């Protein structure tokens, strides 16, 4: 009833604008996803599994210019990063300073960076890291600042939480 008489040009323009916005929307989701995707890099200073490179005696490595981590031969450490492309700077003790860029595949949460291969310039230095599922840590007894004490039943791990409006059913006597 708003009686909006929309001229054809306007209608076309609106269709285009809305279509573009939809595309932009989806694109934004993708962008947030790719940019914000978190990865864990295992910085590995061991012999490469295929024997292509030997562990380095001592080195210090810095990802994206963060505080360098010192690694002795056979040691591992982790770095948490966001996004795919990263700059890695390795200073090998008494050796060269290697600066390299690595790219982590989008789908991988956990990758292994073989520093010896990186230093040796072998590709790929980054490989997916297959892990067993870590057993979930026990639920922290976190409380919602809003809700404690919770008027509903306290949530029991593993059981369906009770919501207000549905009291915990009395056990049948």
Partner 1 sequence: MDKDKPVLSLQNISKDFYGNVVLADVSFDLKAGEIVALVGENGAGKTTLMRILFGMNVIRETGGHQGKILIDGEEVHFESPFDALDAGIGMCHQEFSLIPGFTTTENIVLNRESMRPSLLNDVFGDRMSVLDRADMRRRAVATIAKLGVHLDPDTLVSEMPVGHKQFTEIAREINREKTRILVLDEPTAVLTESEAEVLIKGLRVLAAHGIAIIFISHRLHEVVSVADRVVVLRDGVVVKDTPVQGVTVRDIASWMVGRQVAADRADEGERGFTEEILSVSHLWVDMPGETVRDMNFTVRKGEIFGIGGLAGQGKLGIPNGIMGLFPAGGEVKLRGRPVPLNAPREALEMGMAFVSEDRRGVGLLLEESLDWNIAFTAMQIQDKYLRKVLGGLFKIRDEAAMRTLTEGYIDILNIKCTSPKQKAMELSGGNQQKICLAKAFAIQPDLMFVSEPTRGIDIGAKRLVLDALHKYNRELGMTIVMVSSELEELRAICDRIAIVDEGRVTGILPPTAKLEAFGLLMTGERVSPAPESAYA
Partner 2 sequence: MPSPHPSAAAAAGDNQDLIPQKSGVLRAARRIITDFGWPRVIIFIFLVALFVAAPAVGVRIDASLSDVFNRFGQNALFVLALVPMIQAGCGLNFGLSLGIIAGLLGATLSVQLGLHGMTGFLGAIVLAAPFSIAFGWLYGKLLNKVKGEEMTIAMYVGFAGVMFMCIMWLILPYTAPDMIWGYAGKGLRTTISVENYWIQILNNLLPVRIGQFFKFPTGEILFVVLAAYIMWLFMRTKTGTAMTAVGSNPDYARSSGISVDRMRTISVVLSTFLGAAGIIVYEQSFGFIQLYTAPLAMPFTAIAAILIGGASVKKASMVNVVVGAFLFQGLLTMTPSVINSWLQTDMSEVVRIVVSNGIIIYALTRKTKVTK
Partner 3 sequence: MSGKRSLGRFLRENAVILLFLIITILAIRPSGLSLVYIAQELITRLGRDSFLVLALLLPIYAGMGLNFGMTLGAMAGQFGLILAINYNVIGVDGLIFAALVSLPVSLLLGYVCGAVLNHAKGREMVTGYILAFFINGLYQFVVLYLMGSVIPVRSRTIVLSRGYGIRNTLNLDSVRLSLDNLLALKLGPFTFPIATFLVIAALCLFIIWFRKTKLGQDMRSVGFDMQVANSAGVPVDRTRIIAIIISTVLACIGQIIFLQNMGNMATYNAHDQTSFFAVAAILVGGASVKKANIPNVFIGVILLHGLFVVSPNAGQKLFGQAMIGEYFRQFIGYAVIAVSLVLYAWRARREADRLREGLRGGAGTPAMAEGGAK
Q: Which residues bind partner 3 (CB under 8 A)?
A: 1-3, 25, 28-29, 32-33, 35-39, 82, 109, 133-134, 136-137, 139-140, 142-152, 155-158, 160-161, 163-166
Task: Report in angstroms the alpha-carbon separations of 118 from 18, 56, 97, 115, 168.
Answer: 47, 11, 12, 5, 58
* Distance (Å, whole) CA 136 – CA 151: 28
Q: Which does 169 bind (CB under 5 to 8 A by kind): partner 2, partner 1, partner 3, none?
A: partner 2
Q: Which does 173 bind (CB under 5 to 8 A by kind): partner 3, partner 1, partner 2, none?
A: partner 2
- At residue 53, what are phi and psi to the nearest 5 degrees? -145, 150
Q: Which does 130 bind (CB under 5 to 8 A by kind): partner 2, partner 3, partner 1, none?
A: none
The first and second tokens of residue 74, run together, are: 């056979």
Instruction: Lay out the site mask for partner 2 across 70-109 (x = CB under 8 A, - = otherwise).
Output: ----------------------------------------
For residues 120-159, which are near partner 2 according to CB under 8 A? 149, 151-152, 159
* Distance (Å, whole) CA 48 – CA 114: 7
Of 20, 41, 39, 152, nearest in space to 100 by CA: 41
Paired with 78 in beta bridges are: 42
Greatest Cα pair distance in the chain: 81
**Least separation in angstroms between CB 146 and partner 2:** 14
The first and second tokens of residue 42, run together, are: 């295992």
**Least separation in angstroms between CB 136 and partner 2:** 19
Residues lying near partner 1 in the complex (CB under 8 A) are found at 1-2, 4, 6, 13-14, 17-18, 21
């Amino acid at each position: 009833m708003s009686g909006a008489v929309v001229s054809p040009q306007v209608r076309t323009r609106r269709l285009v604008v809305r279509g573009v916005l939809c595309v932009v929307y989806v694109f934004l989701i993708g962008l947030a996803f790719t940019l914000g995707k978190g990865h864990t890099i295992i910085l590995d200073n061991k012999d490469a599994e295929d024997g292509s490179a030997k562990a380095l005696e001592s080195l210090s490595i810095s990802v994206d210019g963060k505080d360098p981590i010192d690694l002795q031969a056979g040691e591992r450490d982790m770095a948490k990063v966001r996004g795919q492309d990263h700059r890695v700077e390795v200073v090998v003790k008494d050796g060269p300073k290697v600066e390299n860029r690595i790219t982590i595949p989008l789908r991988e949460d956990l990758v292994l960076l073989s520093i010896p291969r990186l230093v040796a310039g072998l590709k790929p230095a980054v490989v997916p890291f297959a892990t067993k599922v870590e057993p979930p840590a026990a639920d922290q007894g976190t409380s919602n600042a809003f809700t404690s004490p919770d008027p509903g039943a306290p949530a029991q791990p593993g059981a369906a939480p009770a919501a207000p409006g549905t009291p915990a059913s009395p056990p049948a006597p």
